[in-house]
Amino acid sequence: MAYDLVIRNGTVVDGSGAPRYRADVAIAAGRIAEIGHISDGARRTLDASDLIVAPGFFDPHTHYDAQLCWDPLITCSSWHGVTSIVMGNCGVGIAPCRPADREVATWDLVNVEGIPFDVLNRGITWDWQSFPEFMDAAQRRGSALNLGFLAPLTPLRHMVMGDESMERAATARERGEIKALLKDAVAAGALGFSLTRVRQHIGYQGRPLACRLADREELKAYANALRELGKGTIEIALNQDLALVTDEEAELLDFMLTQSARPVTWLGLAPTSGRGDSHVETLYKMAPLIARGGIPQVIAYPSEPQFSMRNPFLLASIECWQQVFNKPPEVQKQIYRAPAFRAAFREALKTPQIFAGRFDRVRIDEAGDAALKHYEGRMVAEVAHERGADPLDTFLDLAIEDDLRIRYAVANRGEERLAPLIKDPRTLVGQADGGAHVDMICMAGYPTYLIGTWVRDKQLMTLEEGVRRLTSQPADLFGFPERGRVAPGAAADLAIFDYDSIGCARRPESRHDLPGGGLRLVTTSRGVEYTIVNGEVLYEHGRHTGALPGQVLRSRPLES
């Protein structure tokens, strides 16, 4: 028979963890039709000699919910061999949403996911209200990649409770209505639901993000919805300190696993300042819950987050900083000048926080005022010493002097501390936040970084295991056994790459390509020669072919 596409002479790494082998791969009607020595012809043939033919990478943790409206290529994930993504994470999103609630939903994304309000205001199309309509709108619009959607709990609560969703737990009647909306979303194809318990996640007007106020009766009802439907996964931003899980946090994970009888993936595990190897010890503490399906997410790309004092996301977990958000610049500067604020900040840093107050690691990356340019590339502690001032005061004073334009970065000095988490097969690699924190970080290139750096250069694991961690493992967690594999009958999603050159830029670059010219950081890839989605070539030697072959991935019942 004549196939649509035949990939010849490639080395197949099939996503299962099995040893690589050389074979041709034939594709017909968006599926892998045959693997082996293929003599039949095809409408198109690709020569994959000296290349790896792997399943397309499956990114389980993104925030492209809004970016879908203006960027059908879903950059920069699509540059890195990614063929499927899951969004709607961390309990925040833009569906369901009534017209009257659009400002609230937009500010929630600003505060939690670090996407500027002007960008969202210009870019979101709002051609939906319900969650099923949101998924249908994405299908109509077209995309480069396959799109999976978790239903975030915050907008579900907004839809039923309105403004009071940010003030209290739901009543029994409201619980029932929210549960019904959730069941409608999952029945229509949502992959489950998401929530957060992290203090850093604040919403509209600096109030708690609505899903943080859901009590145990609510969470039981929503978890039971998945049990009743027999499908779906829960994603939860669980722990305040990424190196530790408290007994209370572990008990909540246990509760969600028990009430849903479904997998729960949680955020997350990472080394944090002053915690030594606590992140590794926590992995073993959580082993019984992991064995029951409570899967921790870990990062593979060692980022150096940038931030400005207009949107100081890294400091949002500190209570005295929550008054800063969504305020005009002049009001923010007044707060930063106030001795009482500085005293409260100083006191808060005595307790471990996400932002640890290590000013010897806080770098001045960019200054707007020419008079401050000579500080760029230097650490705040060094500048403070030179000025004869306190580092905390210098940190705030520099921002005020630069009219809040100054951009700081937290220097990363612990890449090797990630290795035990990445290597452990019990973790889910991929806490990359593609589409979020757009002017702070870009970790969306983690698949090419994992293969190029952790697998090839550092030899942390075999290529076969590295590919499995990026493909079949996340695809299986979200219920897509026909994705993440090179096998007859599987969806023809493929990443074809040069193992000797595959990689990701170590430091992001700045681009002003968001709606209205907004700034974002991106990471470019190298070595990905072809990306194929549902049997169509999406990228060829780094160039987009014009195709938009992605589909909305809809959940279905799984075998018990």
Q: Which two tokens stand for residue 95?
A: 């569906």
* 276 contacts: CB under 8 Å, gap ≥ 6: none
The answer to whether position 469 is within a domain reads no
Closest by CA position to 93, among listed 143, 140, 119, 131: 131
Residue 238 is given by DSSP the state -
Name the domain boundary from 466, 482, 498.
Answer: 482
Q: Count CA atoms within 13 Å of residue 224 on its CB side.
A: 11
**Are 235 and 206 members of one domain?**
yes
- Residue ranges of alpha helices (H) inside 188-246 are 216-229
| Total domain count, the chain | 2
**Are 292 and 433 members of one domain?**
yes
The answer to whether position 513 is within a domain reads no
**Are 169 and 228 members of one domain?**
yes
Whether residue 273 is predicted with pLDDT greater than 80 in this model: the reply is no
Whether residue 275 is predicted with pLDDT greater than 90 in this model: the reply is no
**Are 391 and 419 members of one domain?**
no
Q: Give the pLDDT confidence of 168-199 residue by residue, as tens digits.
A: 999 999 999 999 999 999 999 999 999 999 88
* 370 contacts: CB under 8 Å, gap ≥ 6: none
What is the pLDDT at residue 413? 64
Sequence-separated contacts (24+) of 390-399 with Cβ below 8 Å: 391/359, 391/360, 392/342, 392/345, 392/346, 392/349, 392/357, 392/359, 393/342, 394/359, 395/359, 395/362, 396/309, 396/336, 396/337, 396/342, 398/364, 398/367, 398/372, 399/308, 399/309, 399/336
The answer to whether position 536 is within a domain reads no
**Are 399 and 478 members of one domain?**
no
Letter for the amino acid at 31? R
- Which helix (H) or strand (E) segment holds residue 57: the answer is strand 57-59
pLDDT band for position 543 (50/70/90)?
Answer: very high
Whether residue 560 is predicted with pLDDT greater than 50 in this model: the reply is no
Neighbour-count burial for 190-201, b at 16+ CB within 10 Å, e otherwise: bbbbbbbbbbbb
The answer to whether position 557 is within a domain reads no
Give the separation between CA 509 and CA 102, rounded to whole angstroms: 31
Which parts of 283-394 are beta strand (E)?
A: 294-298, 306-308, 362-366
Q: Give the pLDDT confidence of 468-509 residue by residue, as tens digits.
A: 999 999 999 999 999 999 999 999 999 999 999 999 987 888
The answer to whether position 141 is within a domain reads yes
Q: 34-43, 196-205, 329-338, 371-380: which has the minimum mean pLDDT?
A: 196-205
The answer to whether position 84 is within a domain reads yes
**Are 103 and 140 members of one domain?**
yes
Q: Give the pLDDT confidence of 427-466 residue by residue, as tens digits.
A: 999 999 999 999 888 999 999 999 999 999 999 999 999 9
Give the separation between CA 462 and CA 456, rounded to whole angstroms: 8
**pTM for this structure?**
0.91
**Are 396 and 422 members of one domain?**
no
**Are 291 and 400 members of one domain?**
no
Q: What is the mean pLDDT of residues 283-307?
A: 93
Give the separation between CA 284 and CA 278, rounded to whole angstroms: 10
**Are 238 and 316 members of one domain?**
no
Q: What is the dihedral of CA 145, 9, 502, 115, to 10 degrees?
A: 0
Closest by CA position to 482, among listed 408, 551, 409: 551
CATH of residue 272's domain is 3.20.20.140
**Are 120 and 255 members of one domain?**
yes
What is the pLDDT at residue 416? 87
- Cβ–Cβ under 8 Å, residues 556 and 188: no
- Cβ–Cβ under 8 Å, residues 60 and 149: no
Q: Give the pLDDT confidence of 134-179 residue by residue, as tens digits.
A: 999 999 999 999 999 999 999 999 999 999 999 999 999 999 999 9
**Are 207 and 334 members of one domain?**
no
Residue 49, phi then psi, degrees to nearest 5:
-55, 135
What is the pLDDT at residue 271? 85
Residues paired with residue 265 on neighbouring β-strands, in sequence order: 235, 295
- Which helix (H) or strand (E) segment holds residue 40: the answer is none
Q: Give the pLDDT confidence of 8-60 residue by residue, as tens digits.
A: 999 999 999 999 999 999 999 999 999 999 998 899 999 999 999 999 999 99
Whether residue 213 is predicted with pLDDT greater than 70 in this model: the reply is yes
Interhelix angle 216-229/172-187, rounded to 10 degrees, is: 30
The answer to whether position 68 is within a domain reads yes
Residue-number span of the structural domain to which 124 is assigned: 57-303+415-442+474-482
The answer to whether position 494 is within a domain reads no
**Are 182 and 283 members of one domain?**
yes
- Cβ–Cβ under 8 Å, residues 75 and 526: no
pLDDT band for position 557 (50/70/90)?
Answer: low
What is the pLDDT at residue 351? 82
Tell me the C-alpha to C-alpha distance, in Å, between residue 9 and each of 12, 16, 36, 38: 9, 20, 10, 10
Closest by CA position to 422, among listed 395, 454, 394, 449: 454
- Cβ–Cβ under 8 Å, residues 60 and 297: yes
Name the domain boundary from 456, 482, 508.
Answer: 482
What is the pLDDT at residue 410? 87
C-alpha angle 317-295-187 in degrees, rounded to nearest 5: 95
